[in-house]
A and B are shown apart, each in its own frame.
Chain A
Amino acid sequence: MGPYHAIMVHFPVALWTVASGIIFFRAFSDGSLARAFDRVLVPLLLIGVATGVVSYTLGLLVWSPDTLQATPLGRNHMIAASWSLCTWAAILFLRWRVGEMVWEGRVNRLIMVGFGALGASQLAATGTLGGHLHGAPAYLSELMRVFGWDVYHTFYSPTWVLLVLAVAIVAMPVLAIVTTRGRAARSQRQEASK
């Protein structure tokens, strides 16, 4: 499945790269061109995620799970691919669910830029690691080393960090729900008092 995986990954790589360009452009521009690009963002991301899922599945079939997970490079490629797919699916969800409101205000735009940058970085890391696995290492891995990740070390978090992540995973939606419900309740009270 290796060759098919290599062929297939071109689609999400191309689509997500274009998507990240659109996100950056739209975040800094309200012009008609930026708005036009933004209108194709959801279909672009949708096709990207769909082809990403196919690529991911094909990637899982290149080696047996035990083989892929037996080496640091295999594990790193898999974790980077999983997070890439997840991040781009998340961006798709956000843009589709929230609509053009994602571009309202500086904070929203900054979050979109950050999300786009995260997705692009994960995409670059996934591609670099895939190249390593197929015997074509790129100098990008040296850049990754500068940023603190030696690709020959499996990327994993110590247990105490996982616990911190668990707290963050729970805290973020709780905070969001409490904020939105509190606001909604206050609005209702104000409406009733009128």
Chain B
Amino acid sequence: MLRRRTAIIVVAALFTAALLLSLFTHSTGVVRNDPARNIWIPPELTMPVELQVAYNDAQIFFHYRWPARQPHVFTDLLRYSQGKWQRQLSTPIGSDPDGIYEDRLAMMVDDGSVPEFQRYGGYITVGANMRDFTGSGPDAAHRRKYLPATRRDPNEWYSIVDQATLESQRRAGYFLDLWHWRAHLSNPLGRSDDQHVAWYRLYDSGEPLFFSNWDVDKGQPRWMFDLESSGVRALRWEDVAGGRRDESQPYYLLAATAVPFDATHEWGEGDVIPGQVLREPSGSRDEIRVHGEGRWADGYWDVTLVRALDTGHPLEDKVLRDQGVYSIALSVHRDARASRWHYVSLPLQLGLGRQAELMATRFSGPTPDWSRVDTREVTLFYPGQVSWKHLSSARHAGSKYIAKGVPVKYRHKETQLAQYGVEMEFDREIRRQWALSLIAGVLLVASFVFSVSLLFRHRED
């Protein structure tokens, strides 16, 4: 039989051990990847992007530099396997296991015509049940970004306002300019794709930078590499799997040099041809260019984009002016991830010669001297599955601040938002575990105090 004093020590030790165990193991055991529910959590929840901005009388230059362990320059590959050509149609959940998804950098720009964007950034474009959200269903592939006022009910994707209203909104500047640099589909052309977000994520007018190489009827590619100029008819799967790139071989198919697909050729297992053919764009789609070369080296992408301050397409591109202040928000896809598995920034105010969070440097001449331009490190974060519907609902404690127009930065940091984004994806599981932990803690204290009260009151012989 234990002595009273020993029993007290054992009980106290049990209690202390239980407390320490709870402390050292807390917040674990729930968050795990679950592809069946479209859940995949990146190992790093935040990442930096270095940003420099300079402008002259006619053009504005954005220089971006961001870390990436390796470049991913392939996307949408057609692969000959088991005697037929196959196309991967589904978006990878998280990092593509074969490393086949291109790196991307996007930037949304506004001139103040979308006031919520200045305060909440890209969150306002994320409606309810967006594609690749948990439980969004197989019919959600088309549910992409849109602006709240383009819907009668901002939380209902299908309640689009009438065409006349959409056109009036566009004339009033109610859209976000979207610069979209892509390592495969735009960089080889020395371009960035040019899009905008209004009732949908739309492409600017003009000829696109790429078109599909997939012949649906025949189930085979339309075009292939020219053996004479490229040295190959097709790439080999083992050369590209994992995102690798053989520098001696082409990694994109160019309309100007591609040749019609030869179905009579004896194709071998693992032959690979790009699923998109690049071409020279035109019109508003051709306004953003890569200055110099967008390239990856030593673990970093360095990309400089340049565009006219006024492209002459005011219904698709935001017109930028000296002494203007604009809002921008960045996003990066890396590590062969697509769709919502990206990193995003909070909105950042950009001043062209005016005081702002980041002041663009004015220069004269054709190109800026980047050594004289301020560098701003912007923290990007994994946003999880947080929709504008949730943020503006009573369920979000900050919705009353949103109603008052309080900017997101006033209440939240990027690291915090990243963590909140992850917890939102496991909301039900974490709440259950949290409630059980709360009860267990109460019972533990009650059990301990009951035990020591018995032992304290009991005197030794």
Interface residue ranges, A against B (CB under 8 Å): 63-64, 66-72, 74-75, 78-79, 82-83, 86-87, 90-91, 93-94, 97-98, 101-102, 104-105, 107-108, 110-111, 114-115, 118, 133, 135, 147-150, 152-162, 164-166, 168-173, 175-180, 182-184, 186-187, 190
Asked whether, in the complex, the Cβ of B433 is within 8 Å of the Cβ of A93, the reply is no
Given contacts A107-B12, A169-B440, 6 further A-B contacts (CB under 8 A): A90-B445, A93-B449, A149-B23, A149-B26, A168-B15, A175-B451
Q: Indicate if B28 sits at the interface (CB-CB under 8 A).
A: yes
Asked whether, in the complex, the Cβ of B454 is within 8 Å of the Cβ of A86, the reply is no
Q: Indicate if B455 sits at the interface (CB-CB under 8 A).
A: yes
Interface residue ranges, B against A (CB under 8 Å): 1-5, 7-12, 14-19, 21-30, 394-397, 410-411, 415-416, 419-420, 423, 427, 430-431, 433-434, 436-438, 440-458, 460-461
Q: Please name the residue on chain B nearest to A135 by beta carbon.
A: B411
Select one of A82, A114, A154, A180 contacting B441, CB under 8 A: A82
Known: A82-B438, A90-B445, A156-B434. A63 touches B397 (CB 8 A): yes
Asked whether, in the complex, the Cβ of A162 is within 8 Å of the Cβ of B436, the reply is yes
Asked whether, in the complex, the Cβ of B27 is within 8 Å of the Cβ of A101, the reply is no
> Nearest Cβ in chain B — how far from A96, in angstroms?
10
Q: Specify which chain B residues have a CB less than 8 angstroms from the CB of A108 in the assembled complex.
A: 8, 456
Q: Please name the residue on chain B nearest to A133 by beta carbon.
A: B397
Select one of A164, A165, A183 contacting B460, CB under 8 A: A183
Asked whether, in the complex, the Cβ of B453 is within 8 Å of the Cβ of A98, the reply is yes
Select one of A64, A90, A147, A179 contacting B2, CB under 8 A: A179
Asked whether, in the complex, the Cβ of B14 is within 8 Å of the Cβ of A97, the reply is no
CA–CA, A91 to B22, complex, Å? Answer: 21
Known: A86-B446, A156-B26, A157-B22. A114 touches B457 (CB 8 A): no
Select one of A147, A166, A173 contacting B451, CB under 8 A: A173
Q: Which of B5, B8, B17 has the most CB of A within 10 A?
A: B8
CA–CA, A168 to B441, complex, Å? Answer: 11
> Nearest Cβ in chain A — how far from B416, in angstroms?
5
Asked whether, in the complex, the Cβ of B419 is within 8 Å of the Cβ of A98, the reply is no
Asked whether, in the complex, the Cβ of A102 is within 8 Å of the Cβ of B456, the reply is yes
Asked whether, in the complex, the Cβ of A98 is within 8 Å of the Cβ of B433, the reply is no
Query: Count of A-B contacts with CB under 8 A?
Result: 207
> Nearest Cβ in chain A — how far from B199, in angstroms?
29
Asked whether, in the complex, the Cβ of B397 is within 8 Å of the Cβ of A161, the reply is no
The 6 closest A-B pairs by CB, nearest first: A158-B29, A90-B449, A176-B451, A179-B7, A156-B433, A172-B451
Asked whether, in the complex, the Cβ of A107 is within 8 Å of the Cβ of B453, the reply is no
Q: Specify which chain A residues have a CB less than 8 angstroms from the CB of B445 in the assembled complex.
A: 83, 86-87, 90
Asked whether, in the complex, the Cβ of A168 is within 8 Å of the Cβ of B447, the reply is yes
> Nearest Cβ in chain B — how far from A78, in angstroms?
7
Select one of A75, A79, A87, A183 contacting B1, CB under 8 A: A183
Asked whether, in the complex, the Cβ of A176 is within 8 Å of the Cβ of B454, the reply is yes
Q: Specify which chain A residues have a CB less than 8 angstroms from the CB of B10 in the assembled complex.
A: 175
CA–CA, A168 to B437, complex, Å? Answer: 14
Known: A97-B453, A98-B456. A154 touches B434 (CB 8 A): yes
> Nearest Cβ in chain A — how far from B94, in angstroms?
21
Asked whether, in the complex, the Cβ of B453 is within 8 Å of the Cβ of A161, the reply is no
CA–CA, A158 to B394, complex, Å? Answer: 29
Q: Please name the residue on chain B nearest to A171 by beta carbon.
A: B14
Q: Specify which chain B residues have a CB less than 8 angstroms from the CB of A105 in the assembled complex.
A: 5
Q: Specify which chain B residues have a CB less than 8 angstroms from the CB of A149 in the assembled complex.
A: 23, 26
Q: List 23 A-B contacts (CB under 8 A).
A: A70-B427, A82-B441, A86-B442, A86-B446, A107-B5, A118-B19, A135-B410, A147-B23, A148-B23, A154-B27, A156-B433, A159-B433, A161-B21, A162-B436, A165-B21, A168-B447, A172-B14, A173-B447, A176-B7, A176-B455, A178-B2, A179-B3, A180-B455
Select one of B411, B438, B456, B457 contacting A78, CB under 8 A: B438
Select one of B11, B24, B436 contacting A172, CB under 8 A: B11
> Nearest Cβ in chain B — how far from A169, in angstroms?
4
Q: Please name the residue on chain A nearest to B415 by beta carbon.
A: A152
Asked whether, in the complex, the Cβ of B1 is within 8 Å of the Cβ of A111, the reply is no
Q: Specify which chain B residues have a CB less than 8 angstroms from the CB of A69 in the assembled complex.
A: 431, 434
Known: A158-B433, A161-B22. A168 touches B14 (CB 8 A): yes
CA–CA, A165 to B25, complex, Å? Answer: 12
Q: Specify which chain B residues have a CB less than 8 angstroms from the CB of A93 in the assembled complex.
A: 449, 453
Q: Please name the residue on chain A nearest to B27 by beta carbon.
A: A153
> Nearest Cβ in chain B — how far from A176, in angstroms?
4
CA–CA, A172 to B13, complex, Å? Answer: 10
Asked whether, in the complex, the Cβ of A72 is within 8 Å of the Cβ of B447, the reply is no
